[in-house]
Amino acid sequence: MSDVKTKHGDKIEIGAVSEHLLEKYNLPGPRYTSYPTAPVWKDDFGPDDLEESYTRAEALATPLSLYMHLPFCESLCLFCACNVSIQKDKSVAIPYLAALKHEIEHVSGLVSKQRPVIQFHWGGGTPTFLTPAQMEDLFGHARERFAFAPDAEIGIEVDPRVTSRAHLESLRRLGFNRLSMGIQDFQPKVQETIRRVQPYEMTRDLILASRELGFESLSVDLIYGLPYQNAATFQATIEQVLTLTPDRVAMFSYAHVPWLRKQQGAFATHLPEGREKFQIFRAGLEGFLGAGYVYIGMDHFALPEDELATAQQDRTLHRNFMGYTTKAGADLYGMGVSAISSVGDAYAQNRREVPAYQAAVAERGIATMRGYRLSADARLRRSVIGRLLCHTVIVKREVEQEFSISFDEYFASELARLAEPSTDGLVILDRDEVRVTPLGRIFIRNVAMVFDRYIEEQKMDQKPLFSKTL
């Protein structure tokens, strides 16, 4: 099997992935959109703790990234692991939007207008479950209360099955400049099985309309490892996606966790696994790199001129709950049901059920249900894991300067545990660096897991909380 060359001349050594390596390293593991990961967070972290973090953040005056969660969908896609509320009745949005506006009011009252919003994102669920008028009202409410930077990234997740041209026109008028869109797979058999029928033509037409309306950036999501997929069918999907020339592609491994998401059990016997799933991943990797996309981190691709690709090259790439971003250094304020915040040294998550969220906001203005304040050790490990996942290298001197430690002494046991991945060709350990090899990029989550001090506690081999790394 051959390797794949990336845009910048380095190789992804996909041909070197043996059965032995797959068996050894294809294990459940976090995607590290946070460290520590959410299962470690504490239930005794509440609204007062989050507000204390807001106060500290004010003193530092960092820029803001705002995320708002809109949880409603008209029907449930069976693969979905997001926090969703399936509703046919659109009137449910009315009390929810009232609560969300109340939360925006409360949070914005604690934020100085000197702090620019450099990133604003609506995720879901399906944000376009709302009518254009509801979207305009909600956006206007937020915009009046926060100071948006003139060049802010303003993005939204859209579902082509329920997004009209009127929605797009309204979003564009409001100033949204980025769209992200779920595709997952274009094969009819796969789409029927996962109950998300979204033909190519429907997706193409929405993308053409968004280009015509002047959205600057378009990102699409794909999933490999879905029922009835194989390398050939996924390759056909990739070829169709390439005709749409998205600026960015997220290609996620399907997370099969039916003990957490019961509906996934419906197709459990038709899932590609092991080498077969790996070949699907490989088809995706070869398809996008062959078409000139740059491989970003562990699961994204971007056109070479996209700022995500430039950020990877300049080592300014950053990872947060929304995936890879160029907005390092911003505090993330999450609002809405189940939304996550990352403010200074703290993480916080809102209540996960809509009625509980609405009740908590009515009473207190915010709805924090759990969170985590990072210790000095957790801050250090977060930085090290972030460096690996964003830059594929840890330069020891940089970590030593930032955290006033001796890297080799502090991480002596981690370095000893990396000896085996090093022998297997996944990392190069030398005096100055821990560097992930082109082969190691395929198993980069496994390398990151070595630095996670909580991983053993999460009983990874029973009913894992995470998907497999491939």
Residues that bind ligand SF4 (CB under 6 A): 73, 76-77, 80, 82, 84, 124-126, 159, 182, 196
Q: How far is the CB of 91 from ligand SF4 (least distance, A)?
A: 19
Closest-CA residue to 342 (of 94, 65, 76): 65
Count CB atoms within 10 A of the CB of residue 408. 11
User: Which residues pair with residue 249 across a beta bridge?
Assistant: 220, 301
- Which amino acid, 76? L
Q: How far is the CB of 323 from ligand SF4 (least distance, A)?
A: 15
Residue 279, Ramachandran bin (φ over 0: left; ψ between -120 and 50: alpha; else beta): alpha
Distance from C-alpha of 42 to C-alpha of 373, rounded to nearest angstrom: 9
6 or 263: CB nearest ligand SF4: 263
- The helix (run of H) or strand (run of E) holding residue 65 is strand 64-70
36 or 123: CB nearest ligand SF4: 123
Count CB atoms within 10 A of the CB of residue 204. 14
The tokens 């929810």 sit on which residue? Answer: 96
Distance from C-alpha of 82 to C-alpha of 127, rounded to nearest angstrom: 13
49 or 159: CB nearest ligand SF4: 159
- Between helix 93-108 and helix 132-145 the angle, nearest 10°, is 10
Q: How far is the CB of 353 from ligand SF4 (least distance, A)?
A: 16
26 or 198: CB nearest ligand SF4: 198
Q: How far is the CB of 189 from ligand SF4 (least distance, A)?
A: 18
Q: How far is the CB of 316 from ligand SF4 (least distance, A)?
A: 30
Range list of H helices, 153-199 = 165-174, 188-193
196 or 441: CB nearest ligand SF4: 196
- Which amino acid, 176? F
263 or 316: CB nearest ligand SF4: 263
Q: Do residues 316 and 328 make contact, with C-beta atoms less than 8 angstroms apart?
A: yes
73 or 231: CB nearest ligand SF4: 73
Q: How far is the CB of 222 from ligand SF4 (least distance, A)?
A: 12
Q: How far is the CB of 249 from ligand SF4 (least distance, A)?
A: 17
The tokens 């997004």 sit on which residue? Answer: 163
The maximal CA–CA distance of the chain, rounded, in angstroms, is: 62
